[in-house]
Structure 1
Amino acid sequence: MSDTQTLIDNRPPSVATLFLERVEATPEREAFRYPVPPASGDGPDDWRSLTWKQSADRVLSIAAGLIDVGVRPEERVAIASATCLDWILADLGVLCAGAATTTVYPSTNAEETAYILADSGSRVMIAENAEQLVKAREQRAQLPDLAHVVVMNEADALTAPGDPEDWVLSLAELERRGAAYLELNPDVVRKRIDAITADQLATLIYTSGTTGRPKGVRLPHDNWAYMARAIESTGLVTGEDVQYLWLPLAHVFGKVLTSGQIAVGHVTAVDGRIDKIIENLPVVRPTYMAAVPRIFEKVYNGVVAKARAGGPAKYKIFMWAAGVARDYAKVSQDNLRRTGSRTAPLGLTVKHAVADKLVYAKLREAFGGRLRAAVSGSAALAPDIGFFFSGAGINILEGYGLTESSAASFVNPGETYRTGTVGRPLPGTEVRIADDGEILLRGPGIMEGYHGLPDRTAEVLESDGWFHTGDIGELSSDGFLRITDRKKDLIKTSGGKYIAPAEVEGQFKAVCPFVSNILVHGADRNFCTALIALDEPSITAWGADHGMAGKPYADVVTSKQVEEMIGGYVSRLNEGLQRWQTIKKFRILPRDLDIEHGELTPSLKLKRPVVEREFKHLIDEMYDGTREA
């Protein structure tokens, strides 16, 4: 038996056990970094640290506090908060109490928050601030099981007329109660942890469905213990790494990163403020981070815009360097695959060295200068953008997984990664491709099922453990997986041709540096169209250079100049497509797509049905009375 298999097979029943093992092994090592904004509101954040021992002191106090207020094993404790250190410590406290975490996005409205709390049967809600507290308070009549709301921000933990006694607590008060409870019952948390079984519920993550109510995905403790050991076994991260974690922890992608950290023992810098990413990177100087494709797209669009703003000469140099980066990445990756050596012809190598000094080195510094690997997941990364970063010395390792598979089912293997694929399966995970191209998965990371929905569970989970992902893919002879599209998102034109919209959309994002989001439409139509949303900073900067300085975004994107410019990029896209894939017509949206309007999930995935409903009039307009081959 291999060392990897032994590591996975001998995993403990829970991450709570792994956490205690980590604390005992490296109590004084740094575990977390977190920002504290200046009291004045101006100036840089003050970054502070916690050791594993200091983290454990808080985690065990939270766990004991939950036990003190009556939380029993497997009972649910909801966390409604943006990504922050307290989210991680609260989640670990829930797990160490033997309870289960229900994740709630802070952007979820009061009605849907109440649905999740009620459907999960959550006994306690840990709320970030007054805004989240109000959601529970407004819907309290529908939440008879909710015994307490614990507020992270102590100043916001205020009771209101009509609140039951002791209904609202601050997190600090819960920890004080827990510390006092531990003094009287010093072994209470350890006993809870020792009693956890592998099949005991650990997490309920509600998928943000495109239609109807979200489904609660039941992930037992063993899922996270397996993920922790599987991530450790890949060798992609080591105890010396510094991870920058900003992803929403209510999403399975962010959540799995906490399990991997505990197993490996590296430092994690935590800050969920998306608008602080660019500012934080040079401060944190991560060696490892995970992100969704939209972040890499925004960085790429930003450097293109910056180069353009520097004048024609600087822009020409950048575009030359971008082309060299892509060529170098493609050739070197291909040579690695064929010969085992990442090499390129001498002429291209010389060009690459020149471009590195002029462009790539500055780009790497923007990421902190030490970034060894970035994992991209949640959606497909346009290959040309992946090749650009690869050639610039920023290794983007695409991965793949779903909420139902505890996030990490596939990941690219370090130096031998292949852009355009999601890598190989994690050790212990099985994969097969069904006759219709659907990817099926089986292994210790697969969910127990959907909470309270046995019929929905049976639709996707076979009795022998194979899970139907709903994604279409292809496996190479050496086990690398390429995702081609969502099974349900494949477009079949009225002419009978199948089109993978995500593939076309990804190609357009690589061609056009101004695009923020694009939706290709064409199901049951005789030609394809597109709805295109533009990136506000990039397009307004372009507008300023073309006689529209000072004009608002809505005026710029509706101008004739922008329509003609985007039309040129659509034409360039069409040159590389099959005839039936080409975009015959397009409309530029008056605003970008966003989470607030329900058009993007919190992990920035496109909700196609929502977008198509919202902009139905534009789609109808493109097909009205028109015939195209």
Structure 2
Amino acid sequence: MATTHVKGNTPVEVGADEHLTSRLWQRASASGTREVLRYWDAGAWRGLTWAQLGDRVRAVAAGLIGMGIDKGDRVALMSNTRVEWTVTDLAILAVGGVTVPIYETSSAEQCAWILSDSGTKLAVCATPDHAKILDQARAEASDLGEIFVIDDGGLDALAERAGDGDPGKVTERADDLGLGDLASIIYTSGTTGNPKGCSLTHGNLLSTARQTEINLAALFGPEASTLLFLPLAHVFARIIQFVALESDVQMGYARSVEQLAEDLESFSPTFLLSVPRVFEKVFNGAQRKAEGAKAKVFNFAVQAAQDWASTDHPGLAANLKRGLADKLVYSKLRHALGGKIRYCVSGGAPLAPHLAYFFHAAGITILEGYGLTETSAASCVNTPKAMRIGTVGQPSPGTEVMVAEDGELLMRGSGVFTGYWHNDQATGEVITDDGWFRTGDIGAIDDDGFVRITGRKKELIVTAAGKNVAPAVLEERLKSHRLVSQAMVVGDNRPFVAAVITLEPDELTAFAAEHGLSGGPAELRTDAQVLAELGKAVDHANAAVSKAESIRKITVLDRDFTEEHNEMTPTMKLRRRNIIENHSDEIEALYTG
């Protein structure tokens, strides 16, 4: 009989009077000259010690009190990932405020909904352009007061507004906090309708951070460091921020995704958090550069990784091949990532097994995890001591996972949110009477307690013949091909399964040069050689499913799915209904042409 319930280890206890800034104040008064936060400025990495961080947070927090921010008041934070994000977040939390993150790519309409629904009283943003967007949204957000712009000296200006909000009052506010107090309302980037605000308490986030600190202790030694580049508006990066602060790990802030390669080399982190798409780009980029004889070497390294990493006890031949591949390929990959990285934490989407094998053999173990905004992110994770590629690991300490009769995964634990902000109906739909959270994901639990995600319950496709098809496995396999940027499987109430594919521009350019072709996605999407190559991606995807679930046809678009066309969420999830609507003619042609 299949396992349907698993419980994580006994959790570390968190004191009822602790909160997300407790350790900040302890370390600010006790720590020396070591820099805990580092950022790029004037051509070099600069830093803040715990004492400097404490002073900066206290000054901004006093300004918030001076601006009339009371306990429970919501403060919006719209910014890229930067040191000021963390300073502002901690300042809001320190005075008992509630941080409302907003993605820097959000439109005025999206901002208006978040600001109005949350009742935000004050906003901090990164740039004047962000301020313009927030101002446009103001008409729908009657409670919104002043907007402070970081690039225009906004945090200094906010600190100057302290007035009666002297540093002593910040201490009084912090001392009044506890685990049950609301810390953040994070709006999920829903694929349909307006996003819902997930209410997360200090207890939700702090407990999750503490359990993660214990669960992944191998990552958080005295010399550990990480470089943040994912958006802190997302719960995944946010929880790592808190884990790093709790475990005294040095955090760096990448200048941008475009400059990430340079920053990795100069900062040299020991671990990294990322999403599968980044690992795909690193792998595909290395594959693209391996031309001629180098291509054979790279393919040898890929196969050596598969042979070595797919077994717990590799033999002599596998170890020798891995050693040779390390000299020829893997060592160069580690150097490109800064030279010190030994672990990466992956979340947000399924990780293709071939990527996990390749990086693991290269000495960079990717620990795939799983969680949602509603569960404070880190609900399950593979650890250095308990890892099984193809799964999202075992439940974190204090977390329970159960498989319902229809295959949906249910969760219960200290990280599970208190509900959706001002939306009791939606809360009642996902929280059972005995406290289980309905994740909406379909999955299974193996005999050793490792959890495997197989798809989203709402995304299941039912063909005209009544066959249930989970699109996730097909889409992820398609996207593992170098030419594929995005893929969406269709076939609901249709006679067969098909796929809509977009092309990766850089890889397409390289492929065109290799095969004597010219043009971009619009010109090459119907080229016979390109379609033949995409046929290999389809074959790879179909190898994972039954014939009834297999992809029979594809259509290739002349552009990628984008946020601007409302086809992707800020976290790079597909807005399926919008994609179907925007490309209805191409999809219809699959079944009528």
The residue aligned with 1:498 is: 468
Task: Kindly state the Cα deviation for residue 12 of structure 1 after the two structures are TM-superposed.
Answer: 4.5
- Which residue is 2:422 aligned to? 452
Pairs within 5 Å for 1:327-346:
327-331=307-311, 335=312, 343-346=313-316
Matched-pair contact (CA < 8 Å) for 2:477–2:540: no
The answer for the alignment partner of 2:567 in structure 1 is 599
Q: What's the CA shift string for 1:222-253, capped at 9, x where partnerless? A: 11111221112211432421111111111111
Aligned counterparts of 2:410 and 2:23: Cα–Cα separation in 1: 29
Q: Deviations over 1:30-65 (max 9, x none)?
A: 1111112x5xxxxxx422111111111111111110
Of 249, 273, 279 in structure 2, the residue corresponding to residue 290 of structure 1 is: 273
Asked if 2 retains the 8 angstrom alpha-carbon contact of 1:432 and 1:441, the reply is yes
Superposed counterparts of 1:300-311, under 5 Å: 300-307=283-290, 310=291
Kept after mapping to 1: 8 A contact 2:16/2:179: no
- Aligned equivalent of 1:29, options 22, 28, 34: 34
Conserved 8 A contact 2:112-2:141: yes
Q: Which runs of structure 2 are paired with 1:8-407 in the superposition (5 Å)?
A: 8-10=13-15, 12-36=17-41, 38=42, 45-154=43-152, 170-178=154-162, 181=164, 185-234=166-215, 235-238=217-220, 239-271=222-254, 273-307=256-290, 310=291, 312-331=292-311, 335=312, 343-407=313-377
CA distance in 2, matches of 1:17, 1:515: 46
Code of the residue aligned with 1:246 in structure 2: it is F
Question: Residue type matched to 2:38 in 1?
Answer: R
1:181 Cα offset (Å):
4.9
1:404–1:525 distance in 2 versus 1, CA, 3 Å = same
Q: In 2, Cα distance between the equivalents of 1:566 and 1:588?
A: 9
CA distance in 1, matches of 2:566, 2:390: 28
Number of matched pairs:
583
What TM-score comes out, normalization by structure 1 length?
A: 0.89
* Partner SS state of residue 205, structure 1: strand
What secondary structure sits across from 2:319 in the alignment?
Answer: helix
Match of 1:416, SS? coil
Q: Distance in 1 between matches of 2:590 and 2:102?
A: 38
Change (3 A) 1:257 1:568: closer
Q: Does the CA-based 8 Å contact 1:13-1:198 persist in structure 2?
A: yes
Q: 1:447-526 counterparts in 2 under 5 A?
A: 447-510=417-480, 512-526=481-495
Over 3 Å counting, the alpha-carbon distance change for 1:391 and 1:6 in structure 2 is closer
User: Does the 8 Å CA contact 1:382/1:509 hold for their aligned counterparts?
Assistant: no
Root mean square deviation of aligned Cα: 1.8
Contact 1:13-1:197 at 8 Å conserved across structures: yes
1:184-211 per-position Cα deviation (integer Å, ceiling 9, x unaligned): x342011101111322211011111111
C-alpha spacing 1:101/1:464, structure 2 compared with 1 (3 Å): same
Identity of aligned residues (%): 40
Higher relative contact order (CA 8 A, sep 6+): 2
Q: Distance in 2 between matches of 1:274 and 1:294?
A: 12
In structure 1, what residue type is equivalent to 2:443? G
Structure 1 segments, 4+ long, off by >4 Å, are: none
CA distance in 2, matches of 1:426, 1:576: 29
Amino acid corresponding to residue 70 of structure 2 in structure 1 = R
Do the aligned residues in 1 keep the contact of 2:343 with 2:364 (CA within 8 Å)? yes
Gaps of 5+ in 2: 1-8
Question: Deviation per CA, 1:303-334, whole angstroms, max 9, x where unpaired?
Answer: 11111xx3x21111111211111121102xxx
Q: Which moved more, 1:110-119 or 1:232-241?
A: 232-241
Q: Is the 8 A contact 2:430 2:439 kept in 1?
A: yes
Distance change (3 Å), C-alpha of 1:376 and 1:509: same
State the Cα distance separating 1:552 from its structure 2 match. Answer: 3.4
| Structure 1 unmatched runs, 5+ | 39-44, 156-169, 336-342
Structure 2 CA distance for partners of 1:75 and 1:556, relative to 1, 3 Å: same
TM-score, normalised relative to structure 2: 0.95
- Give a deviation string over 1:256-310, Cα, whole Å, max 9, x none: 1111012100100112622122221111111111111111111111111111xx3
